[in-house]
């Protein structure tokens, strides 16, 4: 194991501390003094245009951040990830989501195995299956083609597929719909299947481990629903004789194919992946099957190509022009030198309405850690809270706090030039009006409004302070020509590598998630108490006993 380098002991960290102390934010002044600022801090990354110029940075800060990356051996750690070294130390695993999007003619041998050949064998199986479902050749037990796909999974086996499915709805095949069941709250499953026809429904049970309580419970409920409804309709003799129906209506995605078979799903209908794919990094593996079924193999290839383009940039570009690396370093700058506790992600694209939710798992499950990969405590603050909602909805909800609150909240604004639905309202291009808000918000956040400007509008003196905007609120603008499959892949890979960069600076293992284990274990221990076992209840702490007792008294 290579020990993490303590970033806080490096000269670059000391330089950044000094620079921060000296830096008086003045985005107005900086833009006035340097007519090239926007140009010099704008980058093209595959289809993405990324403007970093409205951040609280100058040349010295950028240079010191790059020195910090070099001081913690970030380029070397990045190369180790791409090469399949076991950089997920606490789980002793390689981290190879980047291999999921390598082209078929690439080769990457890890532990004597060509992982690219393995990846493409599964992709070919997925493509063949998807063609059969989409063409109607794959039929349910009564001979009808599939019209609804229900993905059952949680965390990385849900958030990625949902987010991408929603983002790429305009690419969906007409007559096919996907739904997603994730929560163990039985209302989720009940609502999602309520109006479905079992004869035309295909369930995908997606679970890397195939042990996750929520997913297996939902899968059993879905299986019972399917078999009972089919039996009621006379399509099968009885739920007990539903083997063929399960084979036609249930497929699985997992790394644990033996457990898939135990559940009753034919291994021939299972799509595998590998322990070197983290759940939150898995939407480009077989976990993306619902997306593939919805958009088809050509679009899915474009999606994977988008990831690969950003991977290649991250792998090969020098730090000074390496956009994911620079964006990760900027996040470090705000977290560790400005005390930022959260980061907003604000897509001006309704189809990206689940993007922030997706990023919450990617970033916070990855970097919400307080020990380093060698087990020692971290030496600085780590993962910030990611949150967001699509613009313009957020403008009418929480932007007030970003503009005039007391906290510094760096924000990423995301927009596309061409909407899926170009529309006019009389003479007005509605998407243009939408984007005017995108442009206006980042300008308002950067440049604010002075008291004199407020007065010049004739505002009564008593109200002037309330109407002042200090500005100097940092934003990054990300634009793309359109929300294509490739662009969605590029956006995901961009944030994956930003997350990686931050993790390396902090010396943490961004690829484990031990922090979710305790709650899972306690839930299983408390469950008997919830079901009325007095002895189990007595073992709980007083607050939990009181809450469970109240529940037992008040449930019907």
Position 207 contacts ligand F6P (CB under 6 A): yes
Site stretch for ligand F6P (CB under 6 A), options 130-138, 143-151, 203-211, 337-345: 203-211
Nearer to ligand F6P, 46 or 89 (CB): 89
Stretch that binds ligand F6P, among 117-125, 152-160, 233-241, 494-502 (CB under 6 A): 152-160
**Residue 396 among the catalytic residues:** yes
Strand partners for 253: 206, 271
Nearer residue to ligand F6P within complex by CB, 397 or 516: 516
Is there a catalytic annotation at residue 384? Answer: no
CA distances from 422 to 289, 429, 432, 434, 480 (A): 29, 8, 9, 11, 16
- Per CB under 6 A, the list member of 90, 209, 297, 437 interacting with ligand F6P is 209
Q: Which of 166, 199, 365, 384 is an active site residue? A: 365
> CB-based contacts of 474: which residues, under 8 Å, 6+ apart?
54, 55, 56, 330, 334, 408, 410, 411, 445, 446
Residue 157 interacting with ligand F6P (CB under 6 A): yes
Tell me the closest approach of the beta carbon of residue 89 to ligand F6P, in angstroms.
17
Q: CA geometry: angle at 42 spanning 362 and 499, to 5°? A: 15
**In the bound complex, what is the minimum distance in angstroms from residue 249's beta carbon to ligand F6P?**
20
Rounded distance, CA 175 to CA 296, Å? Answer: 13
Cβ at position 91, least distance to ligand F6P in Å = 11
For position 297 contacting ligand F6P by CB under 6 A, the verdict is: no
Rounded CA Rg of the chain: 26
In sequence order, the 6+-apart residues with CB closer than 8 A to the CB of 163 are 283, 352, 354, 355, 357, 358
Q: How far is the CB of 282 from ligand F6P (least distance, A)?
A: 7
State the minimum distance, in angstroms, from the CB of residue 255 to ligand F6P.
8
Residues between 311 and 370 with contacts to ligand F6P, criterion CB under 6 A: 365
What is the rounded CA–CA span in Å between residue 356 and residue 163? 9
- Taking a C-beta distance cutoff of 8 angstroms, is the pair 197, 203 a contact? no
Nearest residue (beta carbon) to ligand F6P: 279
Least CB distance from residue 216 to ligand F6P, whole Å?
Answer: 8
Cis before 312? omega within 30:
no
- The residues in 215-274 that bind ligand F6P, with binding defined as CB under 6 A, are 215
Q: Which helix (H) or strand (E) holds 59?
A: helix 59-71
The beta strands (E) that lie in 59-157 are given as 109-110, 113-114, 148-152
Which window, 119-127, 173-181, 201-209, 257-265, contacts ligand F6P (CB under 6 A)? 201-209
Interface segment toward ligand F6P; rule CB under 6 A; list 16-24, 109-117, 205-213, 265-273? 205-213
Which region among 151-159, 189-197, 423-431, 461-469 touches ligand F6P (by CB under 6 A)? 151-159
Residues in the chain: 556
Interaction residues for ligand F6P, span 267-296 (CB under 6 A):
279-280
Asked if 390 is part of the footprint of ligand F6P (rule: CB under 6 A), the reply reads no
Q: Does 155 bind ligand F6P (CB under 6 A)?
A: yes
Q: Determine if 208 is a binding residue for ligand F6P (CB under 6 A).
A: yes
Tokens of 186: 């039985």
Instruction: Compute the distance between CA of residue 375 and CA of residue 377 in angstroms, rounded to an integer.
Output: 7
Taking alpha carbons only, the member of 387, 388, 383 closest to residue 513 is: 383
* Catalytic residue chosen out of the listed positions 36, 396, 421, 521: 396
Residue 121 interacting with ligand F6P (CB under 6 A)? no
Q: Taking contact as CB under 6 A, which single stretch among the options 150-158, 258-266, 305-313, 545-553 is the one that binds ligand F6P?
A: 150-158
Q: Helix H segments across 282-377?
A: 289-316, 323-332, 355-359, 366-367
Distance of closest approach, residue 537 Cβ to ligand F6P, in angstroms? 27
Q: Which of residues 461-520 bind ligand F6P (CB under 6 A)?
A: 513, 516
Q: Which of 76, 244, 341, 520 is catalytic?
A: 520
Sign of CA dihedral 315, 318, 323, 328: positive
Q: What angle do CA 445, 357, 293 make, to 5 degrees?
A: 125
Instruction: Compute the Cα dihedral for 286, 291, 294, 295 and give only its sign.
Output: negative
Q: In the complex with ligand F6P, which residue's Cβ is closer, 156 or 324?
A: 156
Q: Which residues are catalytic?
A: 365, 396, 520
Binding interface with ligand F6P (CB under 6 A): 154-157, 207-209, 212, 215, 279-280, 365, 513, 516
């Amino acid at each position: 194991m290579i020990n993490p380098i303590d970033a806080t002991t490096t000269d670059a960290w000391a330089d950044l501390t000094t620079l921060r102390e000296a830096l008086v934010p003045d985005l107005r002044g900086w833009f006035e003094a340097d007519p090239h600022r926007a140009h010099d801090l704008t980058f093209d990354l595959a289809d993405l245009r990324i403007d970093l110029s409205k951040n609280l940075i100058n040349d010295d800060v950028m240079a010191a951040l790059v020195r910090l990356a070099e001081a913690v051996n970030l380029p070397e750690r990045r190369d180790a990830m791409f090469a399949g070294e076991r950089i997920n130390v606490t789980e002793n695993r390689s981290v190879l989501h980047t291999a999921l999007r390598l082209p078929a003619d690439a080769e990457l041998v890890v532990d004597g195995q060509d992982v690219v050949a393995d990846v493409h064998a599964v992709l070919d199986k997925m493509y063949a299956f998807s063609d059969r479902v989409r063409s109607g050749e794959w039929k349910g037990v009564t001979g009808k083609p599939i019209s609804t796909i229900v993905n059952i999974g949680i965390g990385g086996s849900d958030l990625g597929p949902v987010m991408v499915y929603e983002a790429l709805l305009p690419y969906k095949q007409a007559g096919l719909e996907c739904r997603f069941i994730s929560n163990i709250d039985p209302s989720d499953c009940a609502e999602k299947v309520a109006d479905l026809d079992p004869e035309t429904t295909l369930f995908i049970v997606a679970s890397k481990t195939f042990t996750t309580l929520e997913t297996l419970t939902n899968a059993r409920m879905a299986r019972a629903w399917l078999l009972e409804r089919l039996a009621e309709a006379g399509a099968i003799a009885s739920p007990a004789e539903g083997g063929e129906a399960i084979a036609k209506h249930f497929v699985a995605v997992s790394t644990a194919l033996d457990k898939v078979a135990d559940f009753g799903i034919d291994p021939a209908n299972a799509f595998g992946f590998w322990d070197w794919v983290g759940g939150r990094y898995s939407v480009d593996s077989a976990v993306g099957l619902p997306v593939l079924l919805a958009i088809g193999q050509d679009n899915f290839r474009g999606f994977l190509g988008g990831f690969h383009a950003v991977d290649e940039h991250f792998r090969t570009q020098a730090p000074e022009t390496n956009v994911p690396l620079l964006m990760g370093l900027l996040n470090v700058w705000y977290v560790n030198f400005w005390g930022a506790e959260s980061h907003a992600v604000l897509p001006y694209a309704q189809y990206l309405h689940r993007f922030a939710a997706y990023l919450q798992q990617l970033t916070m499950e990855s970097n919400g850690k307080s020990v380093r990969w060698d087990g020692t405590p971290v030496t600085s603050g780590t993962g910030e809270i990611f949150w967001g909602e699509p613009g313009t909805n957020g403008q009418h909800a929480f932007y007030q706090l970003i503009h005039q609150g007391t906290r510094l909240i760096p924000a990423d604004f995301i927009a596309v030039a061409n909407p899926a639905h170009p529309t006019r309202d009389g003479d007005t291009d509605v998407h243009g009006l939408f984007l005017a808000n995108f442009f206006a918000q980042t300008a308002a956040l950067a440049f604010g409004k002075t008291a004199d400007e407020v007065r010049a509008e004739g505002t009564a003196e008593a109200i002037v302070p309330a109407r002042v905007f200090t500005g100097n609120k940092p934003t990054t603008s990300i634009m793309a020509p359109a929300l294509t499959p490739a662009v969605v892949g590029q956006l995901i890979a961009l944030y994956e590598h930003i997350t990686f960069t931050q993790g390396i600076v902090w010396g943490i293992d961004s690829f484990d998630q031990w922090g979710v284990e305790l709650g899972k274990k306690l839930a299983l221990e408390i469950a008997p108490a919830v079901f009325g076992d007095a002895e189990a209840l007595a073992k709980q702490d007083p607050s939990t006993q009181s809450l469970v007792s109240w529940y037992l008294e008040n449930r019907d």
